[in-house]
Amino acid sequence: MKLKDKLQDFTTQKRGLLATNYYNLETLHGVLTAAAEVNEPLILQLTQSSIEYMGLNTAVAMGREGLRQFGVEGWIHLDHGGSVDLAQACLDAGFDSVMIDGSELPFDENVKITAEVVRRAQAYGAHVEAELGYVAKLGQSHAQQGFTQPEEAKRFVESTGVDALAVAIGTAHGFYKEEPKLDIDLLARIHEVTSSTLVLHGGSGVPEGQLKSAINNGICKVNLATEIKNIFMKTLQYELSNNQEIDLRKVFPKATKEITNLVKGKLEIVKNR
């Protein structure tokens, strides 16, 4: 099934579709094991830095083969693409979906760059995501606010034809210094006036009740990255500090298993049952 169709179907059912980043073989296998064990679909996400780290073709091939090997229904998505050129390279490499992030640009420039990626993606039958509003990135202030406004969201979606829209309703990338408080009323108003799938970035650390409330009020795609990196590295740090093992094939699986446990829990939450 095309990603757009799956997202529309899940939005109607008030179900979330989890989108997990992967950074190497171990993190990929960790998230896919979770999806296979609970028989849930999954979006596999790659950022520019992960693409540069693994190599574009290697990263895509790993994702595709992983989905086949584990028998998981899934799609490969560019997360936070910063340029039309990167989006084009990912489309050429066979991505199912690309995000063009012009959220820090003026509104009209964000519209322009997003519309261009939408135009290019049509030739590939690919899905396109954009972002509107201020969702703090790693290293940026969580104090600043720039929530997505319903009428701007409506105008943006109509002007660009974008399939999915990441909205700013109180989340941030990275870990939170205090519990986030999502503006669910604002989300509901955005959902009422827009036709695109709504996306929640900064899903790591959002309490279960707020995640479910967001899904009940229009969110479908839920991103998860920081918690995956954190649990993998923290587990490795502990294991390496407590033994002299030099065989990575004996050490890495413990960290991979922790990712699987984490993602299984998140998949159960976004099912919203």
- Cα separation, 29 vs 27, in Å, equals 5
Confidence of residue 144 (pLDDT cuts 50, 70, 90): very low
Q: Specify the CATH class of 3-271 in words.
A: alpha beta
Confidence of residue 243 (pLDDT cuts 50, 70, 90): confident
Q: Which of 14, 33, 72, 16 is closest to 262 using CA atoms?
A: 33
- CA 57, 84, 167, 73 dihedral sign is negative
Two tokens, residue 130: 């954009």
Asked if 218 and 186 touch (Cβ cutoff 8 Å), the reply is no
Once rounded to an integer, what is the mean pLDDT over residues 192-217?
Answer: 93
Strand positions, DSSP E, 82-149: 97-100, 127-132
- The backbone torsions φ and ψ at residue 7, rounded to the nearest 5 degrees and listed phi first, read -65, -40
Binding-site sequence positions: 80, 101, 131, 173-174, 201-204, 223-226
| DSSP reduced 3-state for 42 | strand
- Cα separation, 83 vs 113, in Å, equals 8
Active-site residues, by number, are 79
- The backbone torsions φ and ψ at residue 191, rounded to the nearest 5 degrees and listed phi first, read -60, -35
Beta bridge partners of 146: 134
pLDDT at 136 over 90: no
- Cα separation, 214 vs 198, in Å, equals 10
Token pair 């050129």: residue = 85
- Cα separation, 117 vs 40, in Å, equals 29
Please state which of the ranges 38-42, 92-96, 140-144, 167-171 shows the lowest mean pLDDT.
Answer: 140-144
- Cα separation, 260 vs 266, in Å, equals 10
Total length of the chain: 273
Once rounded to an integer, what is the mean pLDDT over residues 164-191?
Answer: 84
Asked if 2 and 229 touch (Cβ cutoff 8 Å), the reply is no
- Geometric angle at alpha carbon 245, from 242 and 248, rounded to 5°: 115
| DSSP reduced 3-state for 214 | helix
Q: List the chain domain ranges.
A: 3-271
Binding-site sequence positions for Zn(2+): 80, 101, 131, 173, 201
- Determine the distance from the C-alpha atom of residue 120 to the mean position of all C-alpha atoms in its chain, rounded to a whole number: 21
Average pLDDT, rounded, for the chain: 92
pLDDT at 140 over 60: no
Binding-site sequence positions for dihydroxyacetone phosphate: 174, 202-204, 223-226
pLDDT at site 178:
66
- Cα separation, 264 vs 112, in Å, equals 38
pLDDT at site 33:
98
Asked if 39 and 62 touch (Cβ cutoff 8 Å), the reply is no
- The backbone torsions φ and ψ at residue 154, rounded to the nearest 5 degrees and listed phi first, read -60, -45
User: Which helix (H) or strand (E) covers residue 158, if one does?
Assistant: helix 150-160
